[in-house]
A and B are shown apart, each in its own frame.
Chain A
Amino acid sequence: MAGAIVEATGLSKRFGAVMAVDGLSFAVQPGEIFGLVGPDGAGKTTTMRMLAGVMRSDDGSITVDGIDVRAHPEQAKRHVSYMPQRFGLYEDLTVEENIRFYADLFEVPRRLWEERAAAMLTASNMTPFRKRLAGQLSGGMKQKLGLTCSLVHTPRVLLLDEPTTGVDPLSRREFWQILYSLRGEGVAMVISTAYLDEAERCDRLALLHDGRMVHCDTPAGLKAKMPGAMIEVAAAEPRRVRDAVQKLPGVAGVLLIGIGAHIHVDDAGRRLPEIAAALSAAGIATTEIGEVAPSIEDLFVALLENERNAA
């Protein structure tokens, strides 16, 4: 794709008999947040590692800023920053020492990184913790420190593997604010996440399943691809709702949510009365029932169902 800074073509990785990543192709533009979404074992981490040049792909090609990552991983690493899923910084070093270590490894001129680190620490309210050991930081602060370290050399591509797992909601919001400001600076970001509400914040999403890309589009585009409609039922006993409706004609699937259930149907106008009737026949009290816009989670489940039915 023209202007793309990250380009993966036919990327594959096999672990024994399992195809962890199977023929993945995508391109990421500068200033774009590209999300990798999928259940555990879909191949998100393996894809990230291949993009970062820390794992060799069996097949396919990756270029970062025009550099072939497979042929010249060390050259590509200068432009890429990778934040692994597991906290990768030194817990027995202070915040400042960690930042300095990565600045030195990337040979960032002293004045430059000091300025940049100070600004980022201020922006993420970390300045008072400069002298604290990284191991004594909270989960959210650890991730913000990880981000600061990976940005100290002003990478053009940022790879974030489930960066907000185990991070409190407030820190997650701060974290995303930093990502948005990076987008403004033209940094391309590939982010994998298990939180589907986070996926909605991405510019484009790739849905992965068993190492293959099921769909790739903007969140809105993906929603448009979803066949049928979504009916939300608010009820005290979501499981009973599911049992009562999942065998009805026109119901493709039921997803339990906190307040009740999301029912995926072929035609909302036609099925809504049928479902309401079935629920009252089963003696299930509902506080609310109506058509809603599908969330990414609905979408993901629905698209995977489609995939499974087609197969």
Chain B
Amino acid sequence: MSRPEEAGLRTRGRWPPPEGPRAAIVGSRRPSPYGEAVAEQLGADLARAGVIVISGLALGIDAAAHRGALLGGGVTVAVMGTGVDVVYPASHAQLAEEILAGGGALVSQFPDGTTPRRHNFPARNWTMAALSDVVVVVEAAQGSGALITADAALDLHKEVMAVPGSVFSPLSVGTHGLIRDGAALVQNARDVLAALGATQEVLDDPLSAPQRLGVAALPGRDGIVSHLSDVLAMSAAEISRKLQLPVAEVLGRLTALELDGAVRRHHDGYVRALRKGKKPA
């Protein structure tokens, strides 16, 4: 089946993709650890359920969605704002290769050799909406490009969905606005699948069941982890004040937890590491 909006696209890899529902996952280029984990999880679960995951190969949510889809063993398509031969950002060259190797495609409405131009990206966002059956927004600050994709989806009469976030985070302003305006709230991949009108079979697939994002707790670490949030980063200084421990010791313990993958360090502090939901047997 060839859709009219697919005419004139430059493509690399397998195009058109295999038959099936298509979901775009878009959002901030600088997400919180929470948003990144959600995008990856949704990408993986949707891919496992046979959904083609579409995103824009950008930093942040886009990359997490692509990566998740690849982890889920599915097909993912990157709609690019540059020529299909120009990977932007360049650091995603490896990711682009993996997308192609996974049976996915890179597509673009721009001629080969087009370099990143600010004004090309809104048009790309529109194309992304056109190619998808549903658009899921994960973390978007006010004025985020992901909201352009959502607007385009509305114009094209496609479903728009949004993942809620912390009310303390500026990255939730855009998504909560969408929900307020009537976008469907996404709790897990099942919600997206329902919107896609996926069959009962798919819904009953255990892989698409709600996944609890578990906290990797380790025994014998004095519960420093339990003082950490999984959304807001805390500095070693704050933790040392809270626990009344010397900062040198706290820093050492945090590093040990980091080595074990139980906490993650960001520029501004530490958060609990989110563990991907275990694959049920």
**Are A and B co-members of a single complex?**
no
Residues of chain A having any CB pair with chain B under 8 Å: none
Residues of chain B having any CB pair with chain A under 8 Å: none
